[in-house]
Amino acid sequence: MSTTITPVSETERFESLDVLRGIAVLGILMVNVQAFAMYWGALSYPPAHMSLEGANQTVWFLTHVFFELKFITIFSALFGAGVLFMVGEDPLASKSVHFRRMIWLLVIGLIHGFVLWFGDILVPYALAGMIIVFFRRMSPGKLIGWGLGGIALTGLLMVAGTWAQGAMPGGAEPMPYGPNPPEAFLDQWVAAYQASFAESRIYNAIGELFALFSQITFFAGRLVGVMFIGMALFKLGFLTAKWSLARYLAIGIVCAGLGIAASWWGGLHALGTGFAMSELWIHTGVNYGASLLTAFGYASLVMAACRIDWLKLVRLPFACAGRMAFTNYLTQTLAMTFIFVGAPGLGLFGTVERTGQLQIVLAVWAVQLVVSTLWLKVFRFGPFEWLWRSLSYARLQPFLRRKPA
Identity of the residue numbered 158: M
pLDDT at 117: 95
Residues 329, 132: Cα–Cα separation, whole Å: 22
In a domain, 212, yes or no: yes
Average pLDDT over residues 180-207: 93
Distance of alpha carbon 187 from alpha carbon 183, whole angstroms: 6
Residue 181 Cα to chain centre, angstroms? 26
pTM, 2 dp: 0.92
Which residues span the domain enclosing 244? 35-393
Mean pLDDT of 97-118: 95
User: Which residues are CB-neighbours of 240 under 8 A, at least 6 positions away?
Assistant: 14, 16, 17, 234
Q: Tell me what pLDDT residue 1 has.
A: 38
Instruction: Give the lowest-confidence range in 7-21, 24-38, 174-188.
Output: 7-21
pLDDT tens profile 57-73: 999 999 999 999 999 99
Q: Reply yes or no on whether the pLDDT at 192 is more than 90.
A: yes
**Can you tell me the mean pLDDT for 234-246?**
96
Task: Tell me, letter by letter, the H, E, C secondary structure of the chain.
Answer: CCCCCCCCCHHHCCHHHHHHHHHHHHHHHHHHHHHHHCCHHHHCCHHHCCCCCHHHHHHHHHHHHHCCCHHHHHHHHHHHHHHHHHHCCCCCCCCHHHHHHHHHHHHHHHHHHHHHCCCCCHHHHHHHHHHHHHHCCCCHHHHHHHHHHHHHHHHHHHHHHHHHHHHCCCCCCCCCCCCCCCHHHHHHHHHHHHHEHHHHHHHHHHHHHHHHHHHHCCCHHHHHHHHHHHHHHHHCCCCCCCCCHHHHHHHHHHHHHHHHHHHHHHHHHHHHCCCCHHHHHHHHHHHHHHHHHHHHHHHHHHHHHHCCHHHHHHHHHHHHHHHCHHHHHHHHHHHHHHHHCCECCCCCCCCCCHHHHHHHHHHHHHHHHHHHHHHHHHECCCHHHHHHHHHHCCCCCCCECCCCC
Query: Which residue, among 124, 120, 144, 115, has the nearest Cα to 79 in the 3D structure?
Result: 124
In a domain, residue 20? The reply is: no
How high is the pLDDT of residue 171?
57
170: pLDDT confidence band, cut at 50, 70 and 90? low
Position 404 in a domain: no
137-146 pLDDT per residue, tens:
999 999 999 9
Residue 25 inside a domain? The answer is no
Overall domain count for the chain:
1
Q: Mention every residue, 6+ apart, whose C-beta is less than 8 A from residue 17.
A: 78, 81, 82, 85, 239, 240, 322
Over its C-alpha atoms, the chain yields an Rg (Å, rounded) of 21
Q: What is the pLDDT of residue 255?
A: 98
| 100-114, 150-164, 296-310, 345-359: the lowest-pLDDT one | 150-164
Return the higher-pLDDT residue of 173 and 206.
206
* Nearest residue to 8 via CA among 76, 84, 75: 84
What is the average pLDDT value for the chain, to the nearest integer?
91
Considering the domain boundaries, does residue 4 fall inside one? no
Please check whether residue 399 lies inside any domain of the structure.
no
Buried residues in 229-264 as b, exposed as e (16+ CB within 10 A): bbbbbbbeebbbbebeeeebbebbeebbeebbebbb
Q: What is the pLDDT of residue 276?
A: 87
pLDDT, average across residues 238-247: 96
The better pLDDT of the pair 72, 278 is held by: 72
Q: Is residue 23 part of a domain?
A: no
Task: Answer whether residue 252 is part of any domain.
Answer: yes
Cβ neighbours around 91 below 10 Å, total: 8
Closest CA to 181 of 168, 172, 193: 172
Q: State the pLDDT confidence band at 2, using cuts at 50, 70 and 90.
A: very low
Handedness of CA 304, 310, 311, 317 (dihedral sign): positive
